[in-house]
């Protein structure tokens, strides 16, 4: 299913129940990524936003539209959103970054011998900068073979997007 900008507020995230080998009492068989979201009470609702680059491109959508595991990435984003950030526990699928990438998170999915990463930031103060509520902002992504380093330009782009986003009085997101 192609991604579309006309679906707002994270509605593009398909977090509907899917078959899973793990059984959860009274919930039946559900997607592993969604299980956490169902079992945890929601607090302040967060929104999912796409970063809008100054050239009007949307790097996260560009990445997801060509990513073979976009559905899995979307499910993880939905689970993180439903379990209010930053409380979602660090794991193999949701990772806090450090060093030059401080302030960013990555959604991680492995498909055979390829690793796919979607870089995100969490903006708890988004409402002070023109958004309705706290936001999980999807910035950009990258893909790499297992055992090799992520291309440095993928990290550099994500860090630049983070810096531009944080420096803007009105957050640069897709309207």
Residue ranges per structural domain of the chain: 42-167
This prediction's pTM: 0.74
pLDDT of 103? 92
Does an H or E element contain 115, and which?
A: strand 114-123
Q: What angle separates helix 59-66 from helix 70-82, to the nearest 10 degrees?
A: 130
Could you give the percent of the chain with pLDDT greater than 70?
73
pLDDT tens digit sequence for 30-65: 454 444 444 443 455 789 999 999 999 999 999 999
pLDDT of 77? 92
* Better-scored residue on pLDDT, 32 or 156: 156
Instruction: Compute the residue count for the chain.
Output: 175
CA distance 55 to 35: 38
pLDDT of 87? 72
């Amino acid at each position: 299913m192609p991604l579309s900008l006309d679906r707002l507020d994270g509605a593009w995230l398909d977090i509907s129940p899917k078959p899973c080998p793990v059984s959860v009492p009274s919930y039946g068989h559900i997607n592993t990524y969604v299980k956490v979201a169902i079992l945890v009470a929601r607090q302040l609702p967060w929104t999912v936003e796409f970063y809008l680059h100054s050239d009007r491109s949307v790097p996260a959508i560009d990445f997801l539209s060509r990513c073979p595991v976009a559905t899995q990435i979307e499910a993880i984003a939905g689970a993180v959103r439903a379990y209010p950030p930053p409380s979602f526990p660090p794991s193999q699928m949701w990772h806090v970054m450090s060093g030059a990438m401080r302030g960013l998170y990555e959604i991680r999915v492995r498909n055979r011998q390829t690793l796919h990463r979607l870089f995100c930031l969490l903006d708890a103060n988004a409402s002070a900068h023109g958004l309705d509520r706290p936001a999980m902002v999807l910035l950009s992504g990258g893909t790499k073979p297992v055992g090799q380093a992520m291309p440095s330009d993928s990290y550099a782009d994500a860090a630049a997007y983070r810096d531009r986003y944080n420096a803007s009085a009105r957050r640069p997101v897709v309207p």
